Copies of this chain bind each other. A is one copy, B any other.
Amino acid sequence: MQKIDIYDTTLRDGAQSEDISLSVADRLKIATKLDELGIDYIEGGWPGANPADTEFFQEMQNYSFKNAKLSAFGSTHHPNVNAEDDNTLNNIIAAHPNVACIFGKACEVHAKEALRLSPTRNLEIIKNSVAYLKQNLSEVFFDAEHFFDGLKHNAEYTLSTLKAAHESGADVLVLCDTNGGTMPHEVSEAVKTVKERLPNAKIGIHAHNDCEMAVANSLAAVEMGATQVQGTINGVGERCGNANLISVIPCLNLKYKNKYQTISAENLALLRATSIYVSEVCNISPFSRQAFVGLSAFAHKGGIHVSAVNRNSSLYEHIDPNLIGNRQRVLLTEFAGRSNIVFLAKRFGFHLDKDEPVVKGLLNELKIKSSQGYDFAAAEASIELLILRKLARCGVREFFKLKHFRVLESKMSANSLPLSEASVVLEVEGIEEHTAASGLGPINALDNALRKALINFYPRLNEMRLVDFKVRVLNASENSTGSGSFVRVLIESADQNNKWVTVGVSYNIIEASWQALADSVIYKLYKDEYEHRQQVK
């Protein structure tokens, strides 16, 4: 079995994504997760390129990875100085990484046009840079920038840049498809050529996804002898992103009959959780159709599929989803059946028979609400309340009743911020509570007023706080005014023990928020009462 090293550049090339901006704290969180996943090399950034990169390496001096090696990125030295006097190279050394990975021009036209260097001087710079770093660090990787384009333009020159790095001691020659325009058959040919010319060199691949080929190109390189794959979690990165390690890893581990090994089988089960964690830290929504780990990746919708899946999962699933930490889902859609409801109720401790009328009623209600945009897959607390309310026997009592609310925004001049205030009238334990509160925006004001009205009756609400608030506009199609479209609000709440998500849908964002806020509070009160009853028993 051939070990393939995984080199993650989420923190450097990934952070070049248009929609990603990572703080030092974010980077530390991600690096820790990557180490737990069993990634071999974690590229932390480019020391000296900006304050955040430098600070990250300083912080890393206080941490130690379980498995991973920390890599610092940079370039070959500046043409006007010697390697020993070059800031970029000295910044790398000063950052105390385990490994350095530096890029140099592997393409004649780039050396000439972008750096305005003679081809010979470029070779010297590569040699001196690699050699100097090797004197100071145990491992040095050479990123051969624009390698594939260079091979088309002037193959001999491009190969001579690899030779220069190799002879100066570079541990891995990383072939970079910098512009992402190369096809897998070209990658195969190129790696074959390099292996012929430099049979003792270790080869790496750094692919970009501009042709939706980054994962395929990485695999093509491995098939021809590359032993390091560079990429990012979820394929984030500049333009169309980098090779998606979340796909590369299971493909290599599971799809080549044990020919290749990356992370351990045990760690492979962390793949989905890692993917979602990194999305959250990067503040981007997980992609539901993502290969292997997406919410939809093992979701079955059509009726024929579902019954066949029940008989024999492997007939309709290319791998067991548990291997990579995903799970099979049978979707609650217009195709949903009664067995889906029975399945869900069981999860919450209710043993129902498929033929009970309540199951049919619940199914209808779920179908109607799903078609209105209630995302019960995300908001399990709301679906739990819906089922509990319907089943009645479990005793979800009404903790409060809304009589009315008002929210007022007043912006009194062009340069001042609006003032937000909310008033609510609730009936709580038979008593009418009328109160008001201000807040940072209308929803915060409404949340404050709701809690203020309830807190004397239910002091445990003090334990609870909102941890996330998401808004998504539904049905914004060409012929409707966008601002009049339906919105879905998801609210995540937490107390000392639990987290839960509730949902609201309306064309009015205040109403949708109210639904999710009210459900969140009711869920907290219900949960506490239920736990109390269980303890008394």
Contact = CB atoms under 8 A, between A and B. Distances in A.
Interface string A80-113: 0000000000000000000000000000011001
Interface in A263-320: 280-281, 283, 287-292, 294-302, 305, 308, 311-312, 315-319
A181 B315 CA distance: 12
A122 interface: no
A385 interface: no
Chain A's interface size range is 35 or more
Contact of A511 (B216, B417, B513): B417
A105 to B, nearest CB: 11
Contact of A476 (B283, B312, B334, B472): B283
A413 B405 CA distance: 8
Contact of A239 (B299, B312, B444): B299
A213 B215 contact: yes
Nearest to A475: B283
Given A410-B406, A444-B481, A255 B211 contact: yes
Contacts of A255: 181, 183, 211
A128 interface: no
Nearest to A335: B50
A219 B482 CA distance: 39
Contacts of A241: 289
| Assembly stoichiometry (copies) | 2
Among all A-B residue pairs, the 4 with the closest Cβ atoms:
A181-B318, A216-B216, A469-B482, A441-B508
19 contacts: A19-B288, A19-B296, A21-B333, A50-B334, A183-B251, A183-B255, A209-B291, A238-B299, A403-B413, A407-B418, A411-B511, A411-B514, A418-B510, A440-B507, A440-B508, A441-B506, A469-B473, A469-B483, A509-B509
A519 interface: no
A318 B211 contact: yes
Interface stretch (A132-140, A194-202, A484-492, A522-530): A484-492
Nearest to A75: B304
A244 interface: yes
Interface string A458-483: 00000001111111111111100111
A211 B291 CA distance: 5
A312 B507 contact: no
A212 B291 contact: yes
Given A255-B183, A315-B110, A441 B478 contact: no
A414 interface: yes
Interface in A12-32: 16-19, 21
